[in-house]
Amino acid sequence: MNQESKIVIGEGWAALTSVILLTEQGHTVHWVSGSGAHLLPPLASMATGRGALLLEKLLNATTQEGEEKFELTRGNFLREFRNKAFRDAPWTQSPTPETRLETLQEWLWEGEVNLPPVFESRFQMSLLECFERLKQEYVKNPLVTRYEGFPMSAIHFEGEKFKVMLADGKKIEADDVIYADRLSNLRDVQGVSGVLEIERKLQPRGAIQILMQHQVAIGANVPEHFFIPLQKEADDDHVHQIWGYFTEDGRRSCWTVVLSPNETEDNHLIAKRLRRMKQTLNKTFAEGWLSEGMKEFTQNVSNEHVRMEEGVIFSTTKKPEKLQALKLTGSHKQINVLLEGFGPEYAIEQAALAVLGVDQLAEIPAEVVDGTQA
C-alpha cells in the first residue's frame, strides 16, 4: 500500500474515526482541530448499527493483555423523569423502528429528535469515556501530527496536492482532505462553495452542555441515562429536556440542553437556561442519590465546565444516504464533508465510508432489531 498524506479537520466522532482508520492503513495524518467545536456525547449509549460495531472493534484494539474487552450490550437504557419517578422512554413500547421514530417525533421537539437512539447499544463505560480513551490513544500516534487552536481559512488544489491554510497562516498540503468540523465554519473558508445548501437541508441547532466533576461519586455503575423536562419559560413554544448520564466511576456527569434558534446568540437566555438545568438536577437527583449531609445535587459538584456550541445537532430526520461533498473553486476536485449532528453511530459510519469505501464498509455486519443481519 502506498503511504499517502491526509488532512482531517474536526474534533468529534467522525474526525476521530477517520484519523484511526487512516493511521491503521499506514497513512500520515495532519489532524487539525479546526474550530474545536463538537458535541460531547449527550447520552451514554448510541444507536445500534455498523457504527456501533465498528466502535466496538476500535476500542478492543486498544485493550492490553488481561484487560476487560469491550462488548456492546443492547437494551432500553434511557429513562424519563416525570412525576418524581423514572420510567422507560415512551417510544420504547413501540415494536418497530418506524413506529418508535413516529412516537419519538410526537414526544420531542424537532431540535431533540436526533439525540435518543431508536434502538440502543452501549458499552460498560459511557460514550464520553470511550471517546476520551480513543483520542488519548491516537493523538500520540507517530503517524499523526496535531494542529490546535486555528480553523481552516482557505483551501485549493495545486500540483496534485490539496493545500490548506490555517487562520494563523500555517500551510499544510496532502493527498486528500476530510472535513468533519462545524458546517457554519465553511462559510468563511476561501475556495469552497455550496455549504449553505447543505445547512438549509440539515437545520443545525446549538446546545449548552455542563460537564460536572463530583466530590463524592454519584451514579457509579448506573447503566441508565436520563432525560428530564425543564420548566417551560414564558416564551417557549415547546418543552425542552435535559439529557445526561454519569460516568462509570460516578466522578463525572454530563448534561445537555438543545437551544432554540433565538437562544443561540442571546447570553441572557442561555444563562436562564443554565440556571434551570441546575434547578432541575437538584430536584431530580435528591433523596437516595446524595451522600449524608448533602441537601442538593449541586453541592456535590467540585468543578464544572460549561460549553455552548452552535450548529452541532441537526433537526431534520432525513439523514443523507450518501457522503456530502463540496467542490473547490476553480477545480474539479471535491472534499468529503462528514456530518456529526445525527449522533455518533452515523458519524462513525460516515467516516468509515469516506476512508474504507462502500465495499469494505459492507463487510461490517449491521445488526437489525429483529435479530437478522444486513
Rounded to an integer, what distance in angstroms lies between the CA atom of residue 230 and that of residue 37? 25
Grid-cell match 414564558, residue found: 234
Instruction: Give the model confidence (pLDDT) of 169-205 as tens digits.
Output: 999 999 999 999 999 889 889 999 888 888 889 999 9
pLDDT tier at 367 (50, 70, 90 boundaries)? low
Domains of the chain: 5-72+124-200+318-362 (3.50.50.60), 104-121+204-314 (3.30.190)
Rounded to an integer, what distance in angstroms lies between the CA atom of residue 90 and that of residue 97? 13
What does the pLDDT average to over 362-371?
56
Instruction: Give the model confidence (pLDDT) of 235-267 as tens digits.
Output: 778 889 999 999 999 999 999 999 988 887 788
Instruction: Give the model confidence (pLDDT) of 86-110 as tens digits.
Output: 999 999 988 888 999 999 999 999 9
pLDDT at residue 371 in the model: 35
Contacting residues for 298 by C-beta, under 8 A, at least 6 apart: 278, 281, 282
Instruction: Give the model confidence (pLDDT) of 99-145 as tens digits.
Output: 999 999 999 999 999 999 999 999 999 999 999 999 999 999 999 99
**270, 257 Cβ separation under 8 angstroms:** no
Instruction: Report whether pLDDT(366) > 80.
Output: no
